[in-house]
Amino acid sequence: MPKHAAELAPLPKTDSGTKPRRTPRFMLIGLDSISLELIERYCSPETTPHLINLMRSGLKGRALCSLPAYTPTNWAALATAAHPGSTGASGWHRTVDGRRLSTFDRRAVACDTIWDACARQGLRSLAVQYPTSYPILHADANDVLVPLDHGLVSCALRRGQLFEVAGPEAALTLISREDHRDAANRAALARRVGATEDGAEVREGTADASTEDLPEFRLHVLAAPDGSARICRSREDAEPLVSLEAGAWSPFVRLPVPTPRGEKEGIFRFKLLKHHPESGKLTIAVSQICSLERLASTPQLSRELFEEIGGFFEHSVFYPMLRSHIGTERFAELLRETEEELTHQIDWIVRASRWMQERRGWEVYYIHWHLPDSVIHAYLPLADPSSPAHTEEAAEHAHRVFEMTFRLCDRLVGGLLALVDSETTVLAVADHGNRVTHHSGNVMARLASQDLAVLDEQGAADPAKSPAVLRHADFRWQLDVNPAVVAPESRGDTVNRIIAALHSWLNEETGENVVSLALRRHHAALLGLWGPEIGDVVFFYADGYDWWGARRDPVLTPHSAAAHGPQLPTSHTPFSSDMPFFILRSPRVARGERWDEAAFGQVSLIDLVATSCHLAGIDPPLDNAGAVRCRLFKK
């Protein structure tokens, strides 16, 4: 087992002797995709002491997230205390004034947010990697670190990579023409770094140059006989950018790099992993190259952060390699490297948050940390015994990755809690949970079997012939009646036929229903779904069923995955569930108890925001639809 993160490096000190400019009132710590079942399975006083102490000093439970159980939908819900019908964030993208925006973008959120509420009340807020917080609307009241308005690779100029070089001199091509194409298509970049649920197709502006015309970006490595190395701009440079010693990360360097949107200042670092004396080969890791100006909500603040706190990266070099090395000797090495690298990321967040507290002050703090979602999507099918992909060997490796992830979560929680006192309302929470699936269902193939769609050779609905069509690729849980095929007077009958086809869809081998719920548009308001983003029919799959992976898939395909969104948020297995965890701590909240769902029903994410604002003495956002759940308070 890898060493506890606390043994890798001490937690950042938070008592600098400088009094915070403002007294923190409310801190939301967002840990993506984690269910209470996983917390109770992987947390212990020995490995995750800060999470355990937080549960003992607060009240824990399972929350009901908004539908669909998507990432942007529910981080927006936690920032607004509003339903998706009000936020407009029911999918990954939204068109605003003719421009298609990621729903991580503040401009895509159609209602009032916690950042707006803070500004009205003279409170200052800080958001760290939090969707919907940027671009900022109130520069005198809101600060953002590492904005995510363009998805989970908003800061990236190039993914991290490994190089193996030979000889005393070698070139490192840090950005190739293929990398320029990735930078112009962030969805491809997101896949390469192992980021899940990204919404990164949307990019700011247009490229200033063809990627084929852009120069490649190279540096040079000069190896020494003793196994050390120097990184230089060119072979002739007398002064190296950094010197490398085996096993240690270098300081971050800051250099101009070419991109499809002009030259940007990039920040990155190096690690000499191995020196092979017999062959003269060196193995060197290069971290993700991040845009310096994207460290914070203004370029000036970004530069100050880099000078004071150092460099940052969004994604690990090593994490994307883990899954392919299950069962090999290299797995343990990659796991250690991943934990060490992400420990730096967490410590940067804590130090930067403390620096912002001392320099500018904040009363309200929101953070989103996405790694758990990527881990759970990849490793839950291996760990959960109810998954078709589960084997004892794969599960043993998956458990080790989960243990690492929760150690890192604990380090983040411990560092952040040291920035506030016992009077501060703290809400640690996920946006949704996750559970394994065993089949994928091709809804268009199902509708075609009921004469409600005509599919082309690629398996897509023919828009000139299909009575029913998907609303959008983002909205595979929504269907529209096609006005090009169906006459207005037949519209209601077609909706009835679509719903009947979904409700009668059975897995013929098991007799199970594939769809658990299908509703007309006006009934969807009962689920918090209304407005122009909502289709004529909304539906959700039954437990264990997911939407299809390819257009030409059959109606039902055996498929092992971990999913949230396609199913109702109450879907679960004994191992995990689609319901997000929460831990609420406040002087007025019960200590060391678990929310009693059987006695008091479900508490929703928007209820938790409304209740937290009440406890912190803050007026909630104007579109607040949450209830103050007094049963959460001390008896």
Kindly state the DSSP code that residue 524 receives in the 8-state scheme: G
Going by pLDDT thresholds of 50, 70 and 90, the confidence category of residue 185 is low
> Domain 437-563, what fold?
Gyrase A; domain 2 (3.30.1360)
Residue 173: predicted pLDDT: 87
Q: Is the pLDDT of residue 412 over 50?
A: yes
Residue 475, pLDDT score:
67
Q: Averaged over 13-19, what is the pLDDT? A: 52
Residue 2: pLDDT band with limits 50, 70, 90: very low
> Looking at residue 355, what is its pLDDT?
97
Of the pLDDT bands very low, low, confident and very high (cuts 50, 70, 90), residue 178 is confident
Q: Which residues of 465-478 are buried (b: 16+ CB within 10 A; e: fewer)?
A: ebbbbbbeebbbbb
β 435-441/556-563 pair status: antiparallel
Asked if pLDDT for residue 547 goes beyond 90, the answer is: no
CA distances from 530 to 2, 219, 308, 371, 520 (A): 48, 53, 46, 31, 11
| Residues whose CB falls within 8 Å of the CB of residue 245, separated by 6 or more in sequence, listed in order | 228, 272
Domain spans, the chain: 8-153+295-433+577-619, 156-286, 437-563
Per-residue pLDDT band at 183 (split at 50, 70, 90): low
Give the pLDDT band (50/70/90) at residue 22.
confident
Residue 403 amino acid letter: E
Q: Report the chain's mean pLDDT, rounded to a whole number.
A: 90
150 vs 372 pLDDT, higher one: 372
Polymer length of the chain: 635
Task: Using the predicted structure, report yes or no on whether residue 111 has a pLDDT greater than 90.
Answer: yes
Q: Do domains 8-153+295-433+577-619 and 437-563 have the same CATH topology?
A: no
Separation CA 233–CA 241 (nearest Å): 7
Q: What is the mean pLDDT of residues 411-425?
A: 97
Tokens of 38: 């996983």
- What is d(CA 554, CA 328) in angstroms, rounded to the nearest whole number? 35
Residue with the larger pLDDT of the pair 212 and 199: 212
150-177 core/surface letters (b: 16 or more CB in 10 A; e: else): bbbbbbbbbbbbebebeeeebebebbee
Predicted model pTM: 0.93
Q: Is the pLDDT of residue 198 over 70?
A: no
More reliable by pLDDT, 403 or 211? 403
CATH number of 8-153+295-433+577-619: 3.40.720.10
**Spatial separation of the C-alpha atoms in residues 583 and 593, rounded to whole Å:** 10
Cα separations in angstroms, 454 against 265, 444, 447: 50, 9, 9
Of 347, 291, 287, 353, whose CA–CA distance to 315 is shortest? 287
Q: Is the peptide bond before 68 cis (omega within 30 degrees of 0)?
A: yes
Query: Distance between CA 446 and CA 502 in Å, rounded?
Result: 8
Q: Return the structure tokens found at 90.
A: 């029911």
pLDDT tens-place string over residues 267-310: 999 999 988 777 778 899 999 999 999 999 999 999 999 999 99
pLDDT at 236: 79
Above 80 in pLDDT, residue 187? Answer: no
Average pLDDT on 419-432 reads 97
Residue 194 has pLDDT above 90, yes or no: no
- Is 90 exceeded by the pLDDT of residue 370? yes
Confidence of residue 228 (pLDDT cuts 50, 70, 90): confident
Tokens of 359: 């320099």
> What's the pLDDT score for residue 57?
97
In 474-566, beta strands by DSSP E: 478-481, 515-520, 537-541, 545-547, 556-563
pLDDT at 25 over 90: yes
pLDDT value of position 197: 52
